[in-house]
Amino acid sequence: MAKRKSRGGKPVGRDRILFNILSYIILTVLSAACLLPFLLVLSGSVSEQYAIQLHGYRLIPETFSFDAYKMLFRIPEELLQAYGVTIFVTLAGTLLGLWLTSMAAYVLASRDFRYRYQVSFFFYFTSIFGGGLVPWYIFNTKYLRFHNSIIALILPILINVTYLLILKSYMMGIPEALYESAKLDGAGDMRIYWNIALPLSKAGLATVGLFIALNYWNDWYNAMLFLDEGRRDMYPLQYFLNNILTKAQAMNAAAARSGIPASDVPSEPMKLAMTVVATGPIILLYPFLQKYFVKGVTIGAVKG
Amino acid sequence: MKKKGHPFWEDLKKNRTKWLMILPAAVVVILMCYIPMAGIVLAFKEFNYHDGIFGSPWAGFKNFEYFFQSGKAWTTTRNTILYNAAFLCVNTLLQITCAILLSELAGKYFKRITQSVMFLPYFISWVVVGAFIYNMFNYEFGAVNSFLRSIGQEPLDVYSNKAAWPVILIVVSAFKNVGYGTVMYLASIVNIDGEMFEAADLDGATMWQKIRYITLPCIRPTVVILFLMAIGTIMKGDFQMFWQVTGNNPMVLEVTDVIDTYVTRSLLNLQEFGMTSAAGLYQSALSFVLVLIANYAVKKVEPDYALF
């Protein structure tokens, strides 16, 4: 951070005071606006169904009740299943994606690799031109047979070219001399990658890994394209939530499968309780992980 | 193989391990991007699932004619471009403003908290944003309408109100993206040489003068580059956002339908392969040309930052 705080005991000017007041107001208002939807959902999820039907959602609930959460835990099978799918897909996709991306990044970052520009362009080109959704969809369903397959939730977002280029520029920062001396000691590429490149780019790996994990955690699109309605057991968390929110009967049907009559289901607060449960892990982890994301954005900004 | 073959084969032999290390990632990209690219011939075919992409009979430009005559080409193109242009302008302006305000404030905790709170929406899925929209704008129970009713106003039915959607979409886009861009611009402001500000202080410059003559000119290259790059992607709608926020509500499609949502909806609901791939190719080709133009423009302004 540039040090610009020392103002050498000069009297604070009127413009500075005005600027500070304006800044505090603008930033507070914008932050409040960003926080408001989260608070509304949280408050709606602890409201009572009748209060919502009577007066609608409010920022401060008239009466507190945890009925919606209790009901969620009375019919936990589908929610837990969706959690399981998402956790599996996120773990598998992140580990595999990080491994493949970092290997490719290592090669593209090595200066003695003759075709690194051509291969970089081979990857980069896919981000500026594509065949469009339809050929991709048909190829995946008809020829790769991804229909109702867990691979369809992993493969499409496994390799992200932006992350590849971020890792590449990270690894270009490792001193060449380290590679050279390892090579003189007779180490092969795989060994240099594993013992030198990876340990020295831990921060970059953490950042890219978290971005990949976030993409998997938040993905619902591939589930929408490739999973049939009959395969509810394969729905990842976000698509499960999407289904509850957009299909009015989905919640009641889920309750009915557990033998709970539709009239007992507090459907409105439950939708929001479901939203809270699906977002919870991200919000809870956010304070600890934020710095890595900031780092990623910053590298991305410098390197394009 | 010959003793001195093409340099490529030589390299393949010499750098065997490196090529093997890059192979898995390359295979994924070939499967997910390059092979489907060959499927753009579909736009010129009368597709039936049984005969597959290459076995189906040719249709000439019929798919394109169909797409352009449906009237959808014009509305979706207009919406895609106008929305993206509006998002770009509003978001960039807010991002730069927030970054400058944050960089000038002294309060450490206030800065950290506001920055974190504004960055938070970037991390939630569009499905959850869809839940936010439902929670606020639902006609019967939505928070906006409960507020309007409580102060004795008429409730608002956004789901049949075309004028509301441009505003909602612009606000939602800002909500989701301002934090991200603020972090990015803040990084480039922090990189400015602090001595310039000290010199300005000695000369008695005011806050506004410092922002106007030091901060803004210093971040100009970043702004220009990001702006031009964004113009390159102006034909690609933020599909997930439009899909989840508008919920494909038929009443307002005229003002909310972008090319991506139109293609996806036709594909999923109508299994309309020929016309949708024509629409997709139309979008890809235009995007590609725009990226080339944007890159050319960046090359003119800041040659170091050109993509290729």
Q: Where are the domains of chain A?
A: 14-66, 68-303
**Predicted confidence (pLDDT) at residue B258 exceeds the cutoff of 70:** yes
Q: Is residue B297 part of a domain?
A: yes
The residue-averaged pLDDT of B13-29 equals 91
Based on the domain organization, do B24 and B168 belong to the same domain? no
A103 and B24 within 8 Å at the Cβ level: the answer is yes
Based on the domain organization, do B126 and B180 belong to the same domain? yes
Residue with tokens 């936010």: B132
**Predicted confidence (pLDDT) at residue B217 exceeds the cutoff of 50:** yes
Q: What is the pLDDT of residue A89?
A: 97
Based on the domain organization, do B111 and B245 belong to the same domain? yes
Based on the domain organization, do B184 and B251 belong to the same domain? yes
How far is the C-alpha of B156 from the C-alpha of A200, rounded, in Å?
56
**Predicted confidence (pLDDT) at residue B119 exceeds the cutoff of 50:** yes
Which residues sit opposite B58 in a β-bridge?
Answer: B45
Q: What is the pLDDT of residue A298?
A: 76
**Could you give the dihedral angle defined by the CA atoms of residues A120, A122, A125 and A127, in that order, rounded to the nearest 10 degrees?**
-70
Q: Is residue B195 part of a domain?
A: yes
| CATH dotted code for A68-303 | 1.10.3720.10
Q: What is the pLDDT of residue A301?
A: 52
Q: Do B60 and B46 form a contact (C-beta atoms < 8 A)?
A: no
Whether B223 and chain A come into contact, CB under 8 Å, resolves to no
Restricting to B residues 230-259, those with a Cβ less than 8 Å away from any Cβ of A are: 232, 239-240, 244, 247
Could you tell me the two tokens for A276?
Answer: 């809270």
Task: Print the domain residue range for B39.
Answer: 7-55
Q: What is the pLDDT of residue B233?
A: 84
Q: Nearest by CB to B21, which of A28, A104, A122? A: A104
Based on the domain organization, do B38 and B144 belong to the same domain? no
Output the CA–CA distances (angstroms, integers) from residue A85 to A149, A153, A211, B160, B303, in the order listed: 12, 10, 19, 37, 46
Based on the domain organization, do B164 and B41 belong to the same domain? no
Contacts of B208 in chain A (CB under 8 A): 15, 19
pTM over 0.80: yes
Q: Complex ipTM, two decimals?
A: 0.90
Whether B113 and chain A come into contact, CB under 8 Å, resolves to yes
Q: Nearest by CB to B280, which of A132, A155, A282? A: A132
Restricting to A residues 142-161, those with a Cβ less than 8 Å away from any Cβ of B are: 142-144, 155-156, 158-159, 161
Q: Is residue B2 part of a domain?
A: no
Q: What is the pLDDT of residue B240?
A: 92
Tens digit of pLDDT for each residue in B157-208?
888 888 889 999 999 999 999 999 999 899 888 888 888 888 988 888 888 8
Based on the domain organization, do B13 and B158 belong to the same domain? no
Answer with the residue of higher pLDDT: B306 or B258. Answer: B258
Q: Is residue B61 part of a domain?
A: no
Q: Is residue B1 part of a domain?
A: no
Q: Is residue B62 part of a domain?
A: no
How far is the C-alpha of B274 from the C-alpha of B74, rounded, in Å?
18
Q: Do A215 and B125 form a contact (C-beta atoms < 8 A)?
A: no
CATH, residue B98: 1.10.3720.10
Tens digit of pLDDT for each residue in B92-113?
999 999 999 998 887 888 988 9
Q: What is the pLDDT of residue A7?
A: 47
Q: What is the pLDDT of residue B89?
A: 94
Q: Nearest by CB to B39, which of A3, A115, A131? A: A131
User: Mean pLDDT across chain B, nearest whole number?
Assistant: 87
For chain A, which residues score pLDDT lower than 70?
1-12, 248, 300-304
Q: What is the pLDDT of residue B4?
A: 61
Q: What is the pLDDT of residue B302?
A: 78
Q: Is residue B177 part of a domain?
A: yes
Contacts of B286 in chain A (CB under 8 A): none
Q: What is the pLDDT of residue A11?
A: 59
How far is the C-alpha of B16 from the C-alpha of B60, rounded, in Å?
45
- The count of CB pairs under 8 A between chains A and B is 309
